[in-house]
Amino acid sequence: MSAGAPASPLDILGEVFGYNSFRGPQEAIVNHAVAGGDALVLMPTGGGKSLCYQIPAIARQQAGHGVTIVISPLIALMHDQVGALHEAGVSAAFLNSTQTQEESSALEKQLLRNELTLLYAAPERINTPRMKGLLSSLHERGLLSLFAIDEAHCVSQWGHDFRPEYRSLSLLHESFPDVPRMALTATADALTRQDMVERLKLEDAREFISSFDRPNIRYSIVEKTDPTRQLLRFIETEHAGEAGIVYCQSRKRVEEIADMLQDAGLKAMAYHAGLDASVRQQRQDRFLRDDGMIMVATIAFGMGIDKPDVRFVAHLDMPKNIEGYYQETGRAGRDGLPANAWMVYGLQDVVNQRRMIDTSEVASEEFKQVMRGKLDALLTLAEDTHCRRVSLLRYFGEDSQPCMNCDNCLNPPAVWDATDAARKMLSCIYRVQQASGISFGAGHIMDILRGKATDKVAQYAHDKLSTFGIGADLAEAQWRGVLRQLIAKNMVRVDSEAFSTLELLPDARAVLRGEVSLMLREQAPGAGRKKRSSKPTKTSVKGMAEASLNAGALERLGRLKAWRAEVAREHNLPAFVIFHDATLRAIADKAPQNLADLEGISGMGSKKLHAYGAEVIRVCTALA
C-alpha cells in the first residue's frame, strides 16, 4: 500500500479483512496503537489479538511510518500467519533460520525500500548483530513503525511458558524509545503482568484487559480411574470425527496414547520435543490442514495454533498451573462454536507436580513457593463443587455468575459431611508421625485407616494405633477423594523431598479440634465411570452451525468446502486461511448469483472478493 493519508481503522477492517465491526476492546486498542501509544493487551485466545496490531500496521504504513516488526516465538507458525496476510492483500514476510542468505538479503532490501507492512521474526533473531543493524538502518530512515510482541507472557519467569530469549527484548525500548510497542498475550495473572511490564519496560503503556471468559467452552474435570479408556469413550461419544488436542506429561505417554487412538481407528498423531524438527513440522501442518485430526502432545505443541475448529482439548495429566490450563484449553473453539475442555485428574497428579517443583535443582526457593501457590490454585479448581468458570475467572481477578456450561453447573456434584472422615485421616497422619518419628505416604495411611494388615503396617506396629481400622467403612477410592480435597484445602502437604510423604499443615488444626465442619465432593467407590447425562457437544456444534441451512444451502456448503480444499492445497495453506467455515456457511445460505451478492459477507475482504469471487459464484451456481 502506498504512503499517504491512512484509511480509518474501521475501513481497513472491512476492506482488508472483511469484517463490519470490531469486537470488544479491539477498536480502542487499534486507535491507541495507530496514534503511536504503547499498549499491554490481554485478550483470550480467539478474541482477535492479531487484528490489534495488523490494522495499526497497515494504517501507520500508509501514513509513511514504515514496517511493523512482529516478534513471534515459533518459526513454524510464521508461514501461515504471513500466508493469511497475503490472502488479504497485505505485504508481509518473515525472517528466520529456514531461509537462505539470498532470501534474507532480498527481504532486507525490501524493508529498506519500505515495501513491507509487517515483518515477523523470532526473539532470537531480534538480538543478532545483523538484525540490530537492520533495525537501526530502518530507524534512521524513519521506517520503524511499531513493535508487536506476541505471546509476551514468555518474558516472565512466573508465566507458564518462560523463554529466556524474550528477556533481550528490553533492547527495543533502550535502542528505539520513540517507536511504539505493543505486548500481547492470552494468559497472565497479576504477578506475570507485573513482570511483563518491568521486563519489557512498559511502565507507561496503557493496559487493555479483556474478559477472560470463553463462554463456548465447556469445562469438565473428572476423577482419573482408567484414563485411556475414559479418553477413548469421551472422544467416541462426544467428538467422533472431530479435531482435538490431547495433552500428556511425558513423551512416552504421548506415543502410547497416539498408538491407542490409532488402533481404535481414529486419526491421531504424536507430537513432542523428542521428534525431529522436520517430523514435528510435518505433523503440525497436517493437523492444521486435515479435518478431524487429533494431536496427542506434550506442552511443546499449541502456542499460536490458529486452527478454528478444534472441538476439544483433553488433559490426561494435570498441568502445572491455571495459566497453562487456560492457555491450552483456549485452543478449542476459536470459531466461537461449542467446544470441550476435559481433564482427568487424580492424587498421583498432585504428587507428580509437587515433586517436580520441590526437586528442581535450579529454581530458587522464592520461585518454588510461587509455583506451589499456582499449583494449589489449580487443585482448588479441580476439587471445586461450584461453577468451574466462576473459579477460573476469579483467579484472573474477574467476577462472574454460574455459567450453566460446565460439569458442576450441568450435573451438580453430590456433597457430604466429611468432617468425621477428615478428622480420622488427619488424626491418622499425626499419630503415625508421632509414633514412628517419620512420615509416611498416602497408600500406607489408607491401609491403616482401612485396617489392612500389610507387612509395612506390622513392621512399624501401626496396627496398634488407635486409628487402625477406623476408616474401614470407606473404600480406598473414597479415601483418595478425601485426601485430594484436604490437600486442595491446604490442610495436608505432600513432601516430595521425603518420598511423597504426608505432613499436616496449620489449617488442619481447626478440623482436628472440631472447630469447623467440612462438606466435600462425594466420591463413590466406582466414581468416574458414569456416562455424561448432557448432550454430546458434537450434536450442539452441528445444531448451531448448520440447523438453519436448507437442503440447497447444505449442498452448496459441501461444494464450497471441496473447492476451498483444492485452493488451500495449491497455496500450501490451511483451508481456514482461505475462508473460515463461518464465511462459507454465510455464502451457502445467501446463494449468491453475482459478485455484488458477496459484498458485506463477513470474512470477504476486497482482495478475496477480487481473487475468489468469480470462482465462488461458479461453485454456488453449478448444477448438482
- The mean pLDDT value for 461-484 works out to 94
Residue 19's pLDDT is 93
Confidence of residue 244 (pLDDT cuts 50, 70, 90): very high
pLDDT at 255 over 90: yes
pLDDT at 2 over 60: no
Residue 539's pLDDT is 47
Give CA–CA dist 200/169, Å, rounded: 6
Residue 544's pLDDT is 53
Q: Which residues pair with 68 in a beta bridge?
A: 118, 146
Give CA–CA dist 434/331, Å, rounded: 49
Give CA–CA dist 349/347, Å, rounded: 5
Give the residue carrying C-alpha cell 467440612. 518
pLDDT tens column, 412-441:
999 999 999 999 999 999 999 999 888 899
List, as own/partner pairs, every contact residues 271-279 make where C-beta atoms lie below 8 angstroms and the sequence separation is at least 24, other chains included.
271/295, 271/296, 271/297, 271/298, 271/300, 271/301, 272/297, 272/298, 272/300, 272/301, 273/298, 273/300
Q: Are 439 and 495 in contact (CB under 8 A)?
A: yes
Give CA–CA dist 82/78, Å, rounded: 6
pLDDT tens column, 284-329:
989 998 989 999 999 878 776 789 999 999 999 999 899 889 989 9
The kind and range of the H/E element at 550 are none
Q: Of 24-28, 233-237, 370-374, 528-532, which range is least confident? A: 528-532
Confidence of residue 497 (pLDDT cuts 50, 70, 90): low
Task: Quickly list DSSP for 134-146.
Answer: HHHHHHHTT-EEE
pLDDT tens column, 437-468:
888 999 999 999 999 999 999 999 999 999 99
CATH for the stretch 9-209: 3.40.50.300
Confidence of residue 370 (pLDDT cuts 50, 70, 90): confident
- The mean pLDDT value for 513-528 works out to 77
Between 526 and 27, the higher pLDDT residue? 27
Do strands 39-42 and 118-121 pair parallel, antiparallel, or not at all (unpaired)? unpaired
Residue 326's pLDDT is 92
Residue 585's pLDDT is 93
Give CA–CA dist 480/428, Å, rounded: 14
pLDDT at 532 over 90: no
Q: Are 592 and 560 in contact (CB under 8 A)?
A: no
pLDDT tens column, 587-600:
999 999 999 999 99
Per CATH, 217-410 and 548-621 having the same topology is answered no
Q: Are 39 and 182 in contact (CB under 8 A)?
A: yes
Q: Could you give the percent of the chain with pLDDT greater than 90? A: 70
Strands (E) across 496-612 are located at 501-504, 519-521
Confidence of residue 528 (pLDDT cuts 50, 70, 90): very low
pLDDT at 331 over 60: yes
What is the identity of the amino acid at 308?
P
CA angle 80, 86, 88 (to 5 degrees): 110
Architecture of domain 415-521: Orthogonal Bundle (1.10)
Question: Whole-model pTM?
Answer: 0.85
Topology of 548-621 in CATH?
Answer: DNA polymerase; domain 1 (1.10.150)
Q: Pick from 560, 553, 594, 585: which is nearest to 336 by CA?
A: 585
pLDDT tens column, 167-214:
889 999 999 999 999 999 988 888 889 999 999 999 999 999 998 899
- The mean pLDDT value for 516-529 works out to 71
- The mean pLDDT value for 113-123 works out to 95
Residue 354's pLDDT is 83
Residue 547's pLDDT is 62
Q: Pick from 323, 339, 331, 189: which is nearest to 247 by CA?
A: 331
Give CA–CA dist 212/201, Å, rounded: 24
Ranges of each domain in the chain? 9-209, 217-410, 415-521, 548-621
Residue 159's pLDDT is 66
CATH number for domain 217-410, candidates 3.90.1150.10, 3.40.50.300, 1.10.3720.10, 2.60.420.10: 3.40.50.300
Residue 548's pLDDT is 74
All cell numbers assigned to 487: 490437600
What is the identity of the amino acid at 555?
E
The gap between the terminal CA atoms of the chain, to the nearest Å, is: 41
Residue 365's pLDDT is 87
Task: Quickly list DSSP for 152-213.
Answer: GGGG-TTSTT--GGGGGGGHHHHH-TTS-EEEEES---HHHHHHHHHHTT-TTPEEEE----
How far apart, in Å, are the Cα atoms of 31 and each of 37, 39, 57, 112? 9, 11, 11, 26
Task: Quickly list DSSP for 401-438.
Answer: ---S-BHHHHSPPPEEE-HHHHHHHHHHHHHHHHHHSS
- The mean pLDDT value for 511-530 works out to 75
Q: Report the helix count and the strand count for the chain, using DSSP H and E.
A: 28, 17
Q: Which residues pair with 206 in a beta bridge?
A: 39
Question: In sequence order, what are the residues at sequence separation of 6 or more whose Cβ sits closer than 8 angstroms to the Cβ of residue 480?
Answer: 346, 347, 442, 446, 523
Residue 540's pLDDT is 44
Residue 161's pLDDT is 73
Confidence of residue 492 (pLDDT cuts 50, 70, 90): very high
Give CA–CA dist 435/478, Å, rounded: 26
- The mean pLDDT value for 469-497 works out to 89
Phi then psi dihedrals of residue 457, to 5 deg: -60, -45
Give CA–CA dist 60/31, Å, rounded: 11
pLDDT tens column, 58-101:
999 999 999 999 998 877 678 888 999 999 999 999 998 888 89
Residue 302's pLDDT is 77
